[in-house]
Amino acid sequence: MNLLEKLRCTLFARLALLWLIPVAHPCGAVTLNASDYGLIADGRTDDGPAILKLLDAAKTSEKPVTLVFPPNKVIFAATARKGYLFSLREYRDIAIDGNGCTFLLDPGIRMADMHFARNVMLKNCNVDFTKSMFVETTVQAVDPARSFVDVSLSDAAEASDLGGPTKQEGEQWFGGFVWCENGTHPKAARHFAVKSVEKRENGLMRVHYGEGTFGNAIADTIIPGKTAFSVPRAGVAHRHGPGALFEIHDATDVTLERVHVWGAPWFSFSIYRCEGHCRFIDVDVIPKPNSQRLMSGCRDAFHVTGNRAKLLFEHCDTGGIGDDDYNFCVLSSSIRKVLSPNQIIIRQKFPIQYNPMRVGETLQVMNAENIVLGSAQIARYNETPPKNGSAIVAGGSCPEVTLLLDRPVSGLTPGLTVWAKEAANPDTTMRHCRATFSIRMQTSLKIEDCRFTCYNVSYGMSPRQDNVEGPGPESMWIKNTEFHTGRGSGYVAQSGGIGPLEQTRIQNIHIEGCTFHAPLRIAKARAITLLNNQFHGEVSMGEHQSLDMRGNKKDGRPFSLPQQQGK
């Protein structure tokens, strides 16, 4: 590298630090072409072995590396390392350019494992599977009393793929989605737990309901011959397998750009405990374009938990999701024992995906009434080794932890909820995103220029529950966003409880320039600001300390609420 090049790279690096831009392929990067490692890319040959060779070559590079695929090909893969086609665990400084390719995966493997990766970019690709997760059908008859529906298949050849739960590879709740008629609004997908499927005469298949009572919410909105039903494909849908389609855990500085997912047997993107920057730009989880599919994934599109990173979701569209479009949450802990006013024993409530706290972070303490009792810095953090001698690792089983705080917190008792403030997705932005099923806004968010036709809830799970995904947001900032009626109820901030507003969990909700065709309901928040919004449905304000309403209209007329309503 000559002097001019060194100066150019040094300047770029300084600008990157100044602008806080993660550099996925800085100066001096090595380019590896997948075709040079045996890639066929004919959509039939298993290209998994060639990709493994490509990744092995990238691992040995002493310089940042960019992997490039031939343009606009279909790449079939049935071979993977530990279940992942791109096993990027502990990789550093790597960029993958799919160049418009579609990666067609065997249902037994997943796309990318980025555990402990650093400075990674993946862009310009589509992800699909050789078999879709669901078989698309039309309801021809419904019997609520006997809890079944009869369906006709869009493709009769897929009848052999229908059946009940198989319990293969961690297959979890096994269910489909009835696309219920919803009046003038878009159809609303509702869960239908499948117990079994039997073949009937005239090419019909009878799908038996598997849990509880066949609800009127489904039965009353079915129009035989019209209502669609996405039935889970036996042995494919809802399988945990090796994990989420993209596992981005404990990673630092990750960028995904122009990545379009058309099918996922379980979660699409699992994003845990990341640091630095995580950017998702034009990353979609949607049904395959120009196909008959209505579904794109079985579980959450984006499951976003316990991150310290600055998170950005921009121009991300989600549709046909079997669970939440987004779940922004923290797996909080509960106090097991109080040793002194500044020393406690805790354990994570939801005993999966252990999220360790750190010395120096701020421990916040909340009771079952959503009241924050106080906070203190963690001065010491001691994990109790398991009796079986296994190692304690992030993402593993959850140990008991003894915390020493830098100062006493008044009112500590067993059962209170605690979490680290810095590990609660503290800087998360959604911009120009579209969602159609549900969003759990359980940590603070900035939302701008989005369109939601779904159920949006801040603080959706009570701290009274054992497996809480809390603690709920401290603040919400929403601007220039549309809320439409789909499956759910617009936007609900449902943090309630008894206690002073100065300590209630939701401190600030700011909504500006938004349009609500669906209800807005806020149960309790300290300060609420509603500026220049258009309302066409219910507006409900619960307990609050201050309410600033200016420039709002309801059905085209000036609209306001009493300043002290609900106080």
What CATH number did the domain enclosing 50 receive?
2.160.20.10
Contact 106, 135 (CB under 8 A): no
pLDDT tens digits, 140-170: 999 999 999 999 999 999 999 999 999 888 8
Considering the domain architecture, whether residues 179 and 316 belong to the same structural domain is answered as no
Considering the domain architecture, whether residues 71 and 175 belong to the same structural domain is answered as no
pLDDT tens digits, 360-375: 999 999 998 999 999 9
In the structure, what pLDDT confidence band is assigned to residue 495 with cuts at 50, 70 and 90? confident
- Domain-located, residue 60: yes
| Mean pLDDT computed over 374-389 | 94
| Residue 205 CB contacts under 8 Å (≥ 6 apart), including other chains | 137, 150, 151, 152, 153, 159, 162, 197, 198, 199, 231
Give how many domains the chain has, as a whole number. Answer: 3
| Spatial distance between the Cα atoms of 63 and 352, rounded to a whole number of angstroms | 36
Considering the domain architecture, whether residues 8 and 126 belong to the same structural domain is answered as yes
Cα-flanking dihedrals φ and ψ of residue 15, to 5°? -65, -40
Enclosing domain of residue 90: 3-130+244-290+297-320
Considering the domain architecture, whether residues 67 and 191 belong to the same structural domain is answered as no
In the structure, what pLDDT confidence band is assigned to residue 565 with cuts at 50, 70 and 90? very low
| Mean pLDDT computed over 488-512 | 91
State residue 29's pLDDT score: 82
State residue 172's pLDDT score: 83
In the structure, what pLDDT confidence band is assigned to residue 7 with cuts at 50, 70 and 90? very low
Give the pTM.
0.93
Residue where a domain stops, chosen among 232, 256, 271: 232
| Mean pLDDT computed over 514-536 | 96
- Domain-located, residue 311: yes
| Spatial distance between the Cα atoms of 261 and 295, rounded to a whole number of angstroms | 11
Considering the domain architecture, whether residues 90 and 66 belong to the same structural domain is answered as yes
Name the 3-class secondary structure at 425.
coil
State residue 20's pLDDT score: 39
- Domain-located, residue 159: yes
Residue 32 pairs with which residues in a beta bridge?
A: 67
Considering the domain architecture, whether residues 32 and 167 belong to the same structural domain is answered as no
Residue 471: is the preceding peptide bond cis (ω within 30°)? yes
Strands (E), 389-538: 401-405, 417-420, 427-431, 434-435, 438-441, 445-448, 451-452, 455-458, 475-479, 482-483, 490-493, 508-512, 515-516, 520-531, 534-535
| Spatial distance between the Cα atoms of 8 and 26, rounded to a whole number of angstroms | 11
Considering the domain architecture, whether residues 76 and 155 belong to the same structural domain is answered as no
pLDDT tens digits, 232-253: 999 999 999 999 999 999 999 9
| Spatial distance between the Cα atoms of 225 and 139, rounded to a whole number of angstroms | 6
- Domain-located, residue 362: no
In the structure, what pLDDT confidence band is assigned to residue 286 with cuts at 50, 70 and 90? very high
State residue 115's pLDDT score: 98
Q: What share of the chain in percent tops pLDDT 70?
A: 93
Considering the domain architecture, whether residues 21 and 116 belong to the same structural domain is answered as yes
- Domain-located, residue 106: yes
pLDDT tens digits, 49-83: 999 999 999 999 999 999 999 999 999 999 999 99
Contact 352, 331 (CB under 8 A): yes
- Domain-located, residue 423: no
| Spatial distance between the Cα atoms of 99 and 115, rounded to a whole number of angstroms | 24
Considering the domain architecture, whether residues 460 and 539 belong to the same structural domain is answered as yes
- Token pair 């549309």 is found at 482
Q: Produce one character per residue of 411-436: b if its CB has 16 or more CB atoms within 10 Å, e if not.
A: ebeeebbbbbeebbbbebbbbbbbbb
Contact 432, 315 (CB under 8 A): yes
pLDDT tens digits, 404-432: 999 999 999 999 999 999 999 999 999 99
Considering the domain architecture, whether residues 72 and 199 belong to the same structural domain is answered as no
pLDDT surpassing 50 at residue 5 = no
Considering the domain architecture, whether residues 97 and 22 belong to the same structural domain is answered as yes
DSSP annotation of 316 reads -
- Domain-located, residue 378: no
The mean of the pLDDT values for the chain is 92
- Domain-located, residue 339: no
| Spatial distance between the Cα atoms of 40 and 52, rounded to a whole number of angstroms | 13
| Mean pLDDT computed over 333-343 | 96
Strands (E), 44-133: 65-68, 74-77, 84-87, 92-105, 110-113, 118-129
Residue 428 pairs with which residues in a beta bridge?
A: 311
pLDDT surpassing 90 at residue 23 = no
pLDDT tens digits, 440-485: 999 999 999 999 998 888 886 666 666 668 889 999 999 999 999 8
Q: What is the CATH number of the domain that holds 174?
A: 2.40.30
State residue 216's pLDDT score: 83
| 86 or 4, greater pLDDT | 86
Considering the domain architecture, whether residues 44 and 68 belong to the same structural domain is answered as yes
pLDDT surpassing 50 at residue 330 = yes
pLDDT surpassing 70 at residue 341 = yes
| Spatial distance between the Cα atoms of 253 and 137, rounded to a whole number of angstroms | 42
